[in-house]
């Protein structure tokens, strides 16, 4: 479990230290203070610098660069999207020597990962990676993203960048590694239908399935069971859709599509599955209260805290909601010192957060003191 994390040169953080972390760590702060960036940094570190994880981070943020290739006179130009790496570096600069590093202190063993830009050597080739179409004749120097991680080496130590500073999917394809510790990252949009269905295949008919049902029943006591929906070849769930599952209710003879149950049920489904699949690892949740009414947040935190202890999961989450912070404070008196709860207020430009331990958070909630 991470006790302290240090971030240098990643996104808005020139230098940032966050010590005294616990089992549950809730990050609060104003917009654009860096809360999501901290979740990303933990994800990158725990994956030993997995380039697939970085690719997904860039893609979900819409950080893409486009190369346009001319076609025949009667054909429109062809645009190819790549993941754009320039914005992960502090100062948004991309040149040899640009780098960022993330490290976890006070853990055994300590972990560090470093990403650095360098220039490709004149006759150097990197692990069979290809030069993209249109790059060969460019007079500009070819850049490489080197990744160094300890104690575990990075799954892909070097990645060629295009002339526009992008990572082509061709150069990371079929290189997804097995992680030492499981990591689940739930964004504000929750997980996709395909991700949830894949997670269910690992949980169904196992003890973890009861955790999922318990989570859903905390929102709706009428829920008896949940199952995958029969799928046809024509069926398609687009981005943001809620489908793939049927729910059995005590009050209804007919199964109900989960999309009929509202965003809160879908969010709780994603959370409960993610924490079950994070056993012995890390769960990261951006805007954890998304889709949840304030009256069920105490149940959510009870569920997450109990499951985190049972499955040995460390949780990092963000919120803007006072109700979310207040609800977390309600379980602090019953939290034990070995599985402590912290709230970390992130302030833009500050090298450290303002921390609140369990006792401070309990007092702040009782006196209605603002900690966000």
Q: Would you list the domain boundaries of the chain?
A: 51-171, 183-232+239-366
The structure tokens listed for 274 are 């993610």
For the stretch 337-351, pLDDT in tens is: 889 999 999 999 899
For the stretch 135-158, pLDDT in tens is: 555 556 789 999 999 998 998 899
pLDDT of residue 281: 93
Say yes or no to pLDDT of 165 above 90: no
pLDDT of residue 116: 98
Global pTM reads: 0.89
The DSSP output letter for 89 is B
Q: Say how far apart CA 72 and CA 185 lie, in whole Å.
A: 43
* Whether the Cβ atoms of residue 350 and residue 323 lie closer than 8 Å to each other: no
For the stretch 261-297, pLDDT in tens is: 888 898 899 999 999 999 999 999 999 999 888 888 9
* Whether the Cβ atoms of residue 344 and residue 28 lie closer than 8 Å to each other: yes
Q: Say how far apart CA 57 and CA 2 lie, in whole Å.
A: 21
Say yes or no to pLDDT of 67 above 80: no
> Residue 87: which pLDDT band, with cuts at 50, 70 and 90?
very high
**CATH class label, 183-232+239-366:** alpha beta
Mean pLDDT, residues 224-249: 74
- Taking alpha carbons only, the member of 327, 322, 301 closest to residue 372 is 322
Average pLDDT, the chain: 87
Q: Say how far apart CA 221 and CA 93 lie, in whole Å.
A: 53
Q: Say how far apart CA 208 and CA 231 lie, in whole Å.
A: 24
Q: Say how far apart CA 256 and CA 172 lie, in whole Å.
A: 40
pLDDT of residue 241: 67
Q: By mean pLDDT, which of 5-9, 121-125, 332-336 is the weakest? A: 121-125
Mean pLDDT, residues 184-202: 84
For the stretch 2-45, pLDDT in tens is: 999 999 999 999 999 999 999 999 999 999 999 999 999 999 99
The structure tokens listed for 316 are 């990092």
């Amino acid at each position: 479990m991470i006790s302290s994390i240090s971030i240098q040169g990643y996104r808005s953080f020139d230098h940032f230290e966050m010590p005294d972390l616990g089992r549950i760590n809730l990050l609060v702060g104003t917009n654009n203070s860096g809360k999501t960036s901290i979740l990303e940094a933990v994800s990158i570190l725990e994956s030993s610098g997995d380039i697939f994880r970085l690719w997904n981070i860039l893609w979900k943020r819409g950080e893409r660069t486009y190369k346009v290739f001319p076609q025949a006179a009667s054909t429109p130009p062809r645009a190819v999207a790549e993941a754009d790496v320039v914005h992960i570096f502090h100062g948004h600069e991309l040149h040899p020597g640009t780098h960022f590093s993330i490290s976890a202190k006070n853990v055994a063993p300590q972990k560090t990962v470093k990403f650095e830009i360098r220039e490709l050597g004149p006759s150097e080739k990197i692990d069979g990676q290809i030069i993209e179409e249109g790059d060969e004749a460019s007079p500009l120097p070819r850049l490489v993203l080197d990744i160094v991680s300890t104690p575990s080496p990075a799954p892909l130590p070097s990645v060629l960048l295009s002339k526009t500073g992008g990572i082509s999917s061709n150069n990371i394809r079929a290189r997804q590694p097995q992680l030492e510790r499981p990591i689940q990252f739930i964004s504000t949009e929750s997980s996709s239908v395909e991700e949830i269905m894949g997670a269910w295949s690992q949980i169904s008919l196992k003890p973890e399935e009861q955790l999922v049902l318990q989570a859903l029943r905390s929102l709706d006591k009428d829920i008896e069971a949940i199952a995958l929906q029969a799928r046809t070849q024509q069926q398609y769930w687009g981005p943001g859709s809620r489908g793939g599952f049927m729910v059995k209710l005590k009050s209804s003879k007919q199964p109900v599509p989960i999309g009929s149950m509202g965003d809160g049920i879908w969010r709780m489904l994603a959370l409960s599955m993610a924490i079950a699949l994070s056993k012995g690892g890390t769960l990261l949740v951006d805007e954890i209260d998304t889709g949840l009414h304030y009256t069920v947040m105490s149940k959510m935190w009870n569920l997450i805290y109990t499951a985190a202890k049972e499955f040995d999961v460390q949780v990092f989450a963000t919120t803007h909601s006072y109700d979310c912070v207040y609800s977390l404070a309600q379980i602090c008196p019953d939290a034990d010192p070995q599985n402590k709860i912290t709230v970390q207020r992130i302030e833009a430009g500050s090298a450290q957060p303002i921390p609140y331990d369990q006792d401070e958070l309990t007092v702040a909630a009782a006196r209605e003191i603002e900690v966000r």
